[in-house]
Chain A
Amino acid sequence: MSFSPGISVPIGGIERELGKLWEESGDSKTRASLINLAIYNEKPGSLERNTEIIGGIAGEHAMRAILIQADPKAAGSSAEAWITMHCYLRDSKGGSVCSEQISFKLAGDAARSLQSVVFSHLDSDLPLALWWQADFRPPVDGKLWRWVDRLLFDSRHWKNPSDQFDLIRRIAGLAEARTVLCDLNWARSLPVRQALAGIFDTPGTIPELRVIRELRMQHAPQHRTTALLLVGWLADRLGWKLSEPGQNPRFQDAQGGSVSVTLQESDGASVSSIGIASENAAFGLSRDAASDLYVTTAKGTSIPPSSRMVRAPREETREILLAELARGGRHPLYTRAVKAVQALWD
């Protein structure tokens, strides 16, 4: 199945053509929008792929979507635009709710002037979430980023995480920007963090968090950053300091105890297994391949053996993006988690 970005329209007439589209659709369609979601990508074919993604989420998170396929290295300047709507049946009377989508293919100078070409088509007064599906490159352009309320990216795809984290920190630190950093890799780890936190809701288990000695984690190939973010989160929450960097690093806890961390690649979910050994207990979290459940376990000298299951959402882009859009707010723990394992990114 191929996904078309819609009807070709002149860039100067986008709003007019959208208006016509609404007029033609009659009263049965309702326009809805919570945000502007712009997606920037530099790979050919990205408009079609991102149209599919928008089609998958617009029914649950109404928006004006602005898709950009850019080739900033091209010579000259060219710009093309398309419009379409994503509509979903709302009631049994045939009424539907629709999100608008505007797509741009930009090359050369046009691709380097996003704010003038693209951001003049924002739905005013609604926040702008920009999903950057490319590498961040210096210099950091304050004129671009000050428009952006939420900057979405996925650190899982970064080849050079250290440099990329440095650049996004500079973007977030721009005086004129109020950009919230939203790493989809962090959103991907949320269900794991929730399930792991749930193990320690039982009073008897909480003291064991102070005396953890070993952390083992199995992650899918290309999900080392996901696993490292989880390690960073635990380190930040439990007051661990990195003492020995490396593939399998060591931390020192707040009492001076040593915590060894082992990260292993394994096929399956992004993070398929976590084992935590404390001085008096062992805790586990696992997700079998193709399973939509996490199984958590706890057992210790004064902790009765227990096991439970909780839902594990599908790790598809649609689910992760929806979860991130639904959560909102800032992510202070993310910044701290990144900092806690800063020396491990390369």
Chain B
Amino acid sequence: MSALTVNPLREGIANRLTPESCTLVIFGATGDLTHRKLIPALYNLAAEGALPPAVTIIGFARRKKTSEQFRKELEEATRKFSRTPLDEELWASFASSIHYHQSPFDETEGYRTLTDEMEKADRERGTGGNRLYYLAVAPDQFPVILGHLRKSGLNTASPGSWARVIVEKPFGKDLASAQKLNGLVSEVFPERDTYRIDHYLGKETAQNIMVMRFANSIFESIWDSNHIAHVQITAAEPLGVEGRAGYYDTSGAMRDMVQNHLLQLLTLTAMEPPTSLSAEAIRDEKVKVLRSLRPLRGDQVFNQVVRAQYTAGLISGQPVPGYREAEGVPKDSVTETYVALQVNIDNWRWAGVPFFIRTAKRMPKGGTEIAVTFKSVPRVLFNQSGEGLDENVLVIRIQPDEGVSLRMSAKMPGSSLRIEPVKMDFHYGTSFGKATPEAYERLLLDAMSGDATLFARRDEVEEAWAFVDGIEEAWKTRSDDLAFHTAGSWGPAEAADLAARHGVTWRRM
């Protein structure tokens, strides 16, 4: 037997890379993300034995509190937000690995004492010198934190160990700021150790897009402009800005949703088969899609993009105020809460196929889906008039009610020939009763395992911003294109017109 460097007992236990012991330092540990997502995810991983036992969590934040107080707060949050009920004994076992480190982000001393704590964890818990830094803070805090990590030498690992950083979105607010941010991160951590989280990629159904396309021969052979008429990608939510007005009004739907989540879904839908399942091979193909997006500039933007704001209306029968009436939103805000755009991918596979992307707040119903509409059958036999025969539509539902459905035509029973659409429906929840893990569980394990497949690479982020910037630039030149729609409606008439110009109607979700 050769020298053991990996745990031989792990083979065959789980079909994934094994996460490695490390110290996880969460900057912004008193924030919402830590309480609602990160700690509940880590608790569930620990409870299932998926987290290496030595993993040590250090919450780094400015507020004064003891580790005991911090654990108590996290316990309450986990009780509320965990997908599995909190077990007192399990929590006690898990919580013993959590420590609070109080320090301003800009004080060198705080990083020196952090070093001491991490070295102590290496000695006492066996974290092996591995470091995972999670920047759960606003981007304006990145420079100071990254600068101090470098100054303290915490960005480099000792031989045989690693130091990685997880960066939360938004990755900038435009291409220039994203480049600056990426430049800043890359001065401190190499790209291979930088993990940019887009939690949409951690969702089971987003991961299933590749499986569906490349593990089923029936789809890939018709996945091109010869067979597909158009594609609609929609992310709708009934919620308004809900206390995020300060951020949202400077961002808008384009930056908040399209630049990251929806363009990521677009790349998964349109990418070529990667040469392997490695992170680089997959991300190479995704970035090619972004590079193939036909840029939108000047007047093209006003032809192909509709922006709108919701006004007061009804959601689930309850009156809700308009966007400009929300607390913290300027009365003359022109920030879009609705955006619909038609984009083209200029490559061999997708030439001539319009892709429609739509996202909005205060929609009647929430949900994210990708709908692929196939071309109609020839105007012979059952389709001589070209009317009345619905196209085949394949819908991949990302959330909620994750699943896939296929609409096809069938003959109604009877002596006359009447053709009606029928739907074949696959629901994850119906077929697989097992609860799916939260996206953050998967993503945290991947970062500890060194698997960057489900994280955005620098060039992906920057290509996406380059595309979005063209639209934002055009919007800055005028604001009279801003449309309005009533909260609880499916969007403005202008969006319907945009689709209609391509002979398309927006899907009713």
Residues of A within 8 A of B (CB): 30, 32-34, 59-62, 88, 90, 97, 190-191, 193-207, 209-210, 234, 237-239, 254-255, 292-294, 296, 298, 303-304, 306-311, 322, 326, 329, 331-333
Contacts and interface: CB of A to CB of B under 8 A. Distances in A.
25 contacts: A30-B427, A33-B431, A60-B432, A62-B431, A191-B49, A197-B10, A197-B13, A200-B7, A201-B52, A202-B52, A202-B54, A203-B21, A206-B7, A209-B7, A210-B1, A210-B4, A254-B1, A293-B87, A304-B124, A308-B46, A309-B89, A309-B93, A309-B94, A310-B90, A311-B47
Nearest to B15: A329
Given A202-B126, A202-B128, A206-B5, A306 B11 contact: no
Contact of A60 (B8, B92, B433): B433
A201 B10 contact: yes
Nearest to B18: A201
Contact of A296 (B12, B48, B53, B94): B53
Given A203-B21, A209-B8, A90 B430 contact: yes
Contacts of B10: 197, 200-201
B413 to A, nearest CB: 13
Closest 3 CB pairs of A and B: A60-B433, A310-B49, A309-B93
B417 interface: no
Interface in B66-112: 87, 89-90, 92-94
A202 B53 contact: yes
A332 B6 contact: no
A196 B434 contact: no
Given A205-B126, A306-B125, A311 B11 contact: no
B451 to A, nearest CB: 16
B429 interface: yes
Contact of B49 (A204, A237, A292, A311): A311
Interface string B11-29: 1111100111100000000
A62 B4 CA distance: 42
B309 to A, nearest CB: 32
A292 B432 CA distance: 24
A329 B16 CA distance: 14
A294 B89 CA distance: 11
A292 B21 CA distance: 25
B7 A197 contact: yes
A90 B428 CA distance: 11
A308 B93 contact: yes
Main secondary structure of the interface of B (DSSP, over half): loop
Contact of B46 (A190, A200, A292, A310): A310
Contacts of B126: 202-205, 303-304, 306
Contacts of B20: 201
A346 to B, nearest CB: 27
A276 B7 CA distance: 16
Nearest to A32: B430
B448 to A, nearest CB: 10
Interface residues of B, number: 43
A333 B94 CA distance: 30
B123 to A, nearest CB: 7
**Which of A32, A88, A97 gathers most chain B CB within 10 Å?**
A32
**Which of B1, B46, B53 gathers most chain A CB within 10 Å?**
B53
B91 to A, nearest CB: 9
A293 B89 contact: yes
B368 to A, nearest CB: 18
A274 B423 CA distance: 53
A45 to B, nearest CB: 27
Contacts of B434: 60, 322, 326
Given A62-B433, A307-B93, 16 more contacts: A60-B433, A61-B433, A97-B430, A196-B9, A197-B9, A202-B54, A203-B128, A206-B7, A209-B7, A210-B4, A293-B87, A310-B49, A310-B90, A311-B48, A331-B12, A332-B12
Interface string B361-383: 00000000000000000000000
A61 B49 contact: no
Nearest to A205: B126
Contacts of B5: 206
Given A206-B5, A206-B6, A61 B15 contact: no
A309 B92 CA distance: 9
Nearest to A323: B434
A306 B54 contact: yes
Contacts of B432: 34, 60-61, 326
Given A198-B53, A293-B89, A237 B431 contact: no
Nearest to B48: A311
Contacts of B429: 90
A333 B11 CA distance: 9
Contact of A238 (B8, B90, B123, B124): B8
A18 B46 CA distance: 45
Given A197-B9, A200-B9, A239 B1 contact: yes
B47 to A, nearest CB: 5
Contacts of A307: 93
A62 B430 contact: yes
A292 B8 CA distance: 26
A255 B2 CA distance: 10
A37 to B, nearest CB: 14
Contacts of B4: 206-207, 209-210
B123 A195 contact: no
Given A205-B126, A207-B4, A198 B430 contact: no
B49 A30 contact: no
B53 A199 contact: yes
A326 to B, nearest CB: 6
A226 B93 CA distance: 28
Contact of B13 (A194, A294, A310): A194
Contacts of A309: 89-90, 92-94
Nearest to A310: B49
A194 B49 contact: yes
Given A193-B13, A310-B48, A311-B49, A201 B54 contact: yes
A218 to B, nearest CB: 19
A209 B9 contact: yes
Contacts of A195: 49
**Which of B8, B49, B89, B434 gathers most chain A CB within 10 Å?**
B49
A190 to B, nearest CB: 8
Contacts of B47: 310-311
